[in-house]
Structure 1
Amino acid sequence: MTQKLTIEAKSVAAFATLLADMPHETRATVTATENGTPWATVSIAPTTDTRRTAFPNILGTTAVGDSRKRGQSGARFTAGEARDALRVVIYRAAKMV
């Protein structure tokens, strides 16, 4: 089951760190806010025992099917490469406003 989470993150680095520190089993659509204003939304989910995926989403969408643009790719990563991979996805999500 996918959760919808909102977290306060004032920068890409802060958002990447918070996403990387989430438990591996987390399946969620996570929205980053700055002073209550959303600025990026990312879907995160595990794929194997050691790898996870993250995809950028369009802000304000209600269903998974309409939340991604074609050509907006995500990233598949392990714990050691999480912050770098997540930064790329977050930058993509921030552009999808």
Structure 2
Amino acid sequence: MAEWSNVGIEAVFLALAGLTVQEKPSCVFVKGVTIGPDGKDTWVFNIDETLLSNFPYYQAYGFRSETFDEASFDGWAELAEAPVLPASLNLYSQLERLGFKIFC
């Protein structure tokens, strides 16, 4: 994994928009899926920046203006206070209603 020292501006824009890139195409896709009777229809989410936003952490540390501190970030993540991304919650809820097994 490449080392990095500042938060990428792309993460800032996504966090400000409250969106995940895959949400709209995923909602369209899932509407066309027929759930089978075997209970094996599943959806797997990555939690970090897919279901939950790290925006509050990045905001507190000046976005790109401060050097990234992995220990500080890990401590913040362990607080388990990251807000859910609304678009991802919408997709998650839709999948749940349709009967998908969801793994995070």
TM-score > 0.5 by shorter chain: no
Pair member with larger Rg: 2
- TM-score, length-scaled by structure 1: 0.30
- TM-score, length-scaled by structure 2: 0.29
Higher relative contact order (CA 8 A, sep 6+): 2
